[in-house]
Amino acid sequence: MSPNAKQLTNTRVLVAKIPQDVAPNKSHFRTVVLTEESPALQNNEVLVQNIIFSLDPYIRHEFAEGQEETKVIGFAIAKVVDSKNVGFPVGALVLSPSNWESYTHVSRPENIAELLRIDELASPKVPLSAYNGILGIPGYTSWDSLHSVGNPKAGETIYVSSAAGTLGQLTGQLAKRKGLRVIGSAGSDEKVAFLTKELGFDAAFNYKTEDKREALTRLAGERGLDIYYDLVGDDTVEVALDLLNPRGRVVSVGILSLHQNQAPPAPHNLVNILFKQLRFEGYLVFERTENLGKFWEEVTPLVESGEIKFKETVLESGVETLAENYLALLAGKWTGKVNVKVASL
């Protein structure tokens, strides 16, 4: 049904409260199809039609008191179909903090503040889906955290976990361009080959088939590590703390293992932080978007020219497939960003 009419047909995924220590599975999600009144917008609010969902490893569940089921928060490239916000007029293309549903009413001030117009800056030389990944918030996170927290210097060695993923692909390539030696890990031999043969990593290993300590010690060699760019938040950090050189850095950005309710790590060697004067620092993108313009200025031409490569997947399917594709993403089925295109522009 047209969004201009009083009613909307909205396909929506709902998620149930997932008990502690249980990894998300299919039974936690259900899809409903609802006929709803098109919302009467208040000042600054917009209604968007979601076009290309970005499947991000985290999904935020926001349960109000006493609620056992809620909408799923997930970013999307979306089209504004109704608006009370001059910055986001009808027809504008935005990055939207949407829900897993056909139409999202963006009404909370913190969500309105997260809306980003992309129609004015999207490059015609790259697919639009790239703004969910390498040229979107994940790419910016990689670029900004590597520089602001990692402080990479030519000649140093960086180790990137989940290196074939959205952030990992860019982090490794940016570090390489800065003159670092780059080591990565990923969960299949195909991904490992992609890192070394296509993205130019100096070395990589399969963390599922090799012992992490043995592989990383061998690949770091006598030069050791200077930066651990942590996207997984698992016990690999204990190995890295042992291999880091004095004044090395741990850039804590992702917790892929915890998204699947794996036990959090309890490193026994934190004393390395003291004696090697290491820096262990977390990074959260939503508090640090002030350099987005600079990021697009610097990285867009590199992606357009192919100097920076990226692998992503665009699935064309319905809202009702988001949960199963999300679970497959966590299981490592795809390489890089997974987009689900649910409507045409």
Ligand X SMILES: NC(=O)c1ccc[n+]([C@@H]2O[C@H](COP(=O)([O-])OP(=O)(O)OC[C@H]3O[C@@H](n4cnc5c(N)ncnc54)[C@H](OP(=O)(O)O)[C@@H]3O)[C@@H](O)[C@H]2O)c1
Point out which span in 28-36, 97-105, 159-167, 243-251 binds ligand X (CB under 6 A).
159-167
Tell me if 164 contacts ligand X by CB under 6 A. yes
- Regarding 283 and contact with ligand X (CB under 6 A), the answer is yes
- Which is closer to ligand X, CB of 83 or CB of 335? 335
Interface residue with ligand X, options 220, 329, 340, 342 (CB under 6 A): 329
Q: Which of 1, 5, 34, 58 binds ligand X (CB under 6 A)?
A: 58
Among 285, 292, 314, 343, binds ligand X (CB under 6 A): 285
User: Interface mask (CB under 6 A) for ligand X, residues 187-226, using x and -?
Assistant: xx--x-----------------------------------
Q: Which stretch binds ligand X (CB under 6 A): 19-27, 36-44, 163-171, 291-299?
A: 163-171
> CA 108, CA 97: separation in Å to the nearest integer?
10
| Stretch of 76-84, 101-109, 253-261, 302-310 contacting ligand X, by CB under 6 A | 253-261
Nearer to ligand X among residue 128 and residue 253 (C-beta)? 253
In the complex with ligand X, the residue whose CB is nearer, 39 or 332, is: 332
Closest contact distance (angstroms) between CB of 206 and ligand X is: 8
Q: Is 129 exposed, middle or buried (0-12, 13-18, 19+ CB in 10 A)?
A: buried
In the region spanning residues 96 to 125, those forming contacts with ligand X, defined by CB under 6 A, are none
Q: Which is nearer to ligand X, 33 or 189 (CB)?
A: 189
**Would you count residue 263 as binding ligand X (CB under 6 A)?**
no
Min dist CB 94 to ligand X, Å, is 18
Residues at the site binding ligand X, with contacts judged by CB under 6 A: 56-58, 138, 141, 162, 164-168, 186-188, 191, 231-232, 234, 253-257, 260, 262, 283-285, 329-330, 332
